[in-house]
């Protein structure tokens, strides 16, 4: 655990330094293309089901319903809520960059199950039943690289459970490398 935390801090500080130009440009793009703040603070479920605030660059218009992507696809057209740069920053995962703050703060890790929205009761319940809730959520994870928003909740939790049972620094490095490849290819990104 201590080694993973140290790795999170080192990778996050390195990431902030390397990605600072992208962070600044994304901030400016969001600010200049739509009204409202550049950052959106989302209520997420952390380790042991504790709620924390997770920052993202705002890709959706002010007033967008707070529901999971897979539910939004069923209920409304999510494209109607995107800001002018929203689709681009989501497809390139630039909207995720502020989460480096959550890693530094200790609410998240680089690798772990993606933090559920506070109202994703089905996901929270299944993760709790499988003890996945005991893990610190991550910017990326085993489920992220194996389907992201394209897989049903039970499959996502099965992948999270696999990660819980097979955690290692080697697996974390594999997930980080596979995440970079998938982001560059824009695999499994629906908006």
Q: What is the pLDDT of residues 2-21, one digit of tens each?
A: 899 999 999 999 999 999 99
**Structural domains counted in the chain:** 1
Whether the Cβ atoms of residue 147 and residue 175 lie closer than 8 Å to each other: no
Q: What is the pTM of this model?
A: 0.85
In a domain, 168, yes or no: yes
Please write the tens of the pLDDT for every residue from 83-131: 999 999 998 889 999 999 999 999 999 999 999 999 999 999 999 999 9
Q: Check residue 14 and give its pLDDT.
A: 96
Residue 88 CA to residue 73 CA, distance in Å, equals 18
* Residue 78 confidence (pLDDT): 73
pLDDT at 158 over 50: yes
pLDDT digits (tens, 9 = 90+) for 23-77: 999 999 999 999 999 999 999 999 999 999 999 999 998 888 777 666 666 666 7
CA-based nearest residue to 114, from 168, 53, 45: 45
Residue at 133 is within a domain: yes
Nearest to 136 by CA among 182, 181, 92, 104: 104
Other beta carbons less than 10 A from residue 110's beta carbon: 24
pLDDT higher than threshold 70 for residue 190: no
Confidence of residue 185 (pLDDT cuts 50, 70, 90): confident
3-class secondary-structure state, position 118: coil
pLDDT at 179 over 70: yes
Domain that holds residue 173: 2-185
User: Is 159 a member of any domain?
Assistant: yes
Is 190 part of a structural domain of the chain?
no
Please report which confidence band the pLDDT of residue 191 belongs to, taking 50, 70 and 90 as the band edges: very low
Describe the crossing of helices 121-129 and 153-166 by its angle, rounded to 10 degrees. 40
Residue tagged 């209520």 (tokens)? 43
pLDDT for position 184: 82
Calculate Rg over the CA atoms of the chain: 16
Report how far Cα 181 is from the mean position of its chain's Cα atoms.
16
Question: What are the residues whose beta carbons fall under 8 Å from the beta carbon of 178, sequence distance 6 or more?
Answer: 145
Domain assignment present for 14: yes
Does any domain span residue 191?
no
State the pLDDT at residue 8. 96
- CA–CA separation, 47 vs 97, rounded Å? 20
Residue 103 covered by a domain: yes
3-class DSSP state for residue 55?
A: strand
Distances (CA, A) of 160 to 104, 156, 177: 22, 6, 18
The SS3 call for residue 27 is: helix
């Amino acid at each position: 655990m201590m080694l993973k935390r140290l790795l999170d801090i080192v990778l996050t500080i390195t990431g902030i330094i390397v990605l600072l130009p992208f962070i600044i440009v994304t901030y400016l793009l969001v600010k200049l293309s739509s009204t409202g703040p550049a950052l959106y603070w989302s209520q997420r479920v952390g380790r042991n089901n504790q709620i924390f605030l997770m920052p993202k660059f705002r890709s959706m218009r002010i007033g967008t319903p707070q529901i999971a992507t897979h539910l939004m696809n069923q209920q409304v057209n999510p494209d109607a809520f995107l800001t002018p740069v929203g689709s681009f920053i989501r497809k390139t995962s630039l909207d995720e960059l502020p989460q480096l703050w959550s890693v530094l703060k200790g609410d998240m890790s680089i690798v772990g199950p993606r933090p559920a929205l506070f109202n994703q009761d089905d996901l929270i319940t299944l993760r709790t039943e499988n003890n996945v809730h005991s893990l610190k959520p991550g910017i990326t994870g085993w489920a992220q690289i194996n389907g992201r928003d394209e897989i049903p909740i039970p499959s996502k939790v099965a992948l999270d459970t696999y990660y819980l049972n097979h955690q290692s620094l080697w697996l974390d490095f594999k997930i980080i490398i596979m995440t970079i490849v998938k982001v560059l290819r824009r695999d499994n990104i629906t908006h």
